[in-house]
Amino acid sequence: MRLLLIEDEPDLLTGLARALRKQGYAVDVASDGGEGLHKALDAEYDAIILDVMLPVLDGWQVLEQLRKTRTTPVLMLTARDGSRDRIRGLDGGADDYLVKPFDTGELLARLRAIIRRSAQKPAAELVLGEVCLHTAARTVSRGGVPVTLTAREYVLLEYLALHRGEVVTRTQLYDHLFDENESTLSNILDVHVFNLRRKLGQELIVTRRGHGYCIE
């Protein structure tokens, strides 16, 4: 999952980006609304975390411009606890909001929820035959037995599971699993897929030659 974090407080930006990367998310960052909007329109993000009080363009303006062409899930961060702000955010097309200061665990849970909703898969558990993804705990089991995955293996599996039945192209995977600063060596994906098959069964992820991967 690739996220865009738009936040002008350097400490919060750095700390939150680190916490999100630790969960296996690919994270791009922007420290003002102008840069944020530019990036939001330039790439396909799975979700955007958007601060309200920002230089250049504020969060409301970014959201308004974004919603003209994009349905990317948006979680807004507001410093103010007024219900008027929350109503404005939700009416403006935000998918959820959090009032600062917030608990990182709550942010992660809300993020997972808006990503699942946007994939039309609101259940917290994704069942793929004998394999089950527990998205809240970010753990996987096979036949009821826990299987240890790396953070990257988990996000790759989750992305394919959320797009179950669709062929996901390699380009799509590179766009959604790696951030703007990562080098994308062409064999990395193959290694992750190889490891997932080894851990979860050869038949789980199907290769569609010349197209990409699919969980049927």
Closer to Ca ion at the Cβ: 24 or 36? 36
Q: Which is nearer to Ca ion, 58 or 175 (CB)?
A: 58
Terminal CA-CA length for the chain? 20
Q: Which is nearer to Ca ion, 72 or 78 (CB)?
A: 78
3-state secondary structure of 176: helix
Closer of 51 and 95 to Ca ion (Cβ): 51
Tell the smallest beta-carbon distance from residue 27 to Ca ion (Å): 18
Q: How far is the CB of 31 from Ca ion (least distance, A)?
A: 9
Smallest distance from the beta carbon of 147 to Ca ion, in angstroms? 40
Contacts of 201-206 with CB under 8 Å at 24 or more apart are: 201/130, 201/131, 201/142, 204/128, 204/129, 204/131, 205/160
**146 DSSP β-pair partners:** 141
Q: How far is the CB of 59 from Ca ion (least distance, A)?
A: 8
Name the residue nearer to Ca ion (CB basis): 36 or 212: 36
Mapped onto helix, strand or coil, the DSSP state of residue 44 is coil
Strands 131-134 and 139-142: antiparallel
Considering the complex, what minimum distance in angstroms separates the CB of residue 76 from Ca ion?
Answer: 11
Give me the half-sphere count of Cα atoms (radius 13 Å) on the Cβ side of residue 177: 23
CA dihedral 62, 66, 72, 77 (to 10 degrees): 10
Question: Would you tell me which residues interact with Ca ion (CB under 5 A)?
Answer: 8, 51, 53
